[in-house]
């Protein structure tokens, strides 16, 4: 079992009104209001690996390519989160960033890539990074080394845009 598989220390997915509150952004995306989230969130479409049904989840964008050709997200609930496992089974999917759809392919990043991404995130958003790590049960002391160690334990995914997709995606939105 690797550090990334140590999901026993991960928080349990929310239930009840908390789950409902976390799903509210999906309704806003469906109403065409995705632009309200700026560059902080995206809507991920994924196919259930067991049910084969279309699923959606909203994820925080950890980093974004300025040209809009890739977005990096993290699985705060660890490697057993449904959306993460669904992408493992079917990495080609769709996202909505703002109000624009994009066809993407999920690339699962190494622990060393995760360390670099988390260190960069902590430099840009130190308070949010500390809260995120505390939520996930990952100890950090505010130093770069501790954020790097936390980043090694977080599954990061880069969603890489398929070239020439934007026109085709508009037909599927």
The string of DSSP codes covering the chain is --GGG-GGGSPPPP-HHHHHHHHHHHHHHHTT-GGGGTTTEEEEEEE-TTT--EEEEEEE-SEE-TTSSEEEEE-TT-TT-HHHHHHHH--EEEEEETTEEEEEEEEEPPHHHHHHHHHHHHHH-HHHHHHHHHHTT----SSHHHHHHHHHHS-EEEEEEPTT-HHHHHTT-
| Per-residue tokens: 8 | 């026993």
pLDDT per residue over 14-43, tens digit each?
677 676 677 889 999 999 999 999 999 999
pTM: 0.82
Question: Over the stretch 150-160, which tens digit does the pLDDT of each residue have?
Answer: 999 999 999 99
- Is the pLDDT assigned to residue 162 strictly greater than 90? no
């Amino acid at each position: 079992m690797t550090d990334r598989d140590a999901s026993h220390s991960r928080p349990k997915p929310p239930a009840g009104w908390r789950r409902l509150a976390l799903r509210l952004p999906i309704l806003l995306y469906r109403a065409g209001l995705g632009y309200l989230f700026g560059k902080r969130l995206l809507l991920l479409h994924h196919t259930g690996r067991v049910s084969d049904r279309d699923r959606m989840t909203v994820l925080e964008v950890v980093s974004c390519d300025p040209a809009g050709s890739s977005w990096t997200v993290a699985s705060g609930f660890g490697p057993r989160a449904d959306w993460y496992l669904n992408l493992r089974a079917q990495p080609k999917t769709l996202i909505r960033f703002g109000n624009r759809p994009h066809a993407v392919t999920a690339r699962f990043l190494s622990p060393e890539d995760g360390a670099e991404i988390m260190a960069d995130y902590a430099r840009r958003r130190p308070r949010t990074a500390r809260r995120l790590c505390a939520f996930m049960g990952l100890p950090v002391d505010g130093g770069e080394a501790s954020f790097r160690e936390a980043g090694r334990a977080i599954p990061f995914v880069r969603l890489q845009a398929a070239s020439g997709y934007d026109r085709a995606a508009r037909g599927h939105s």
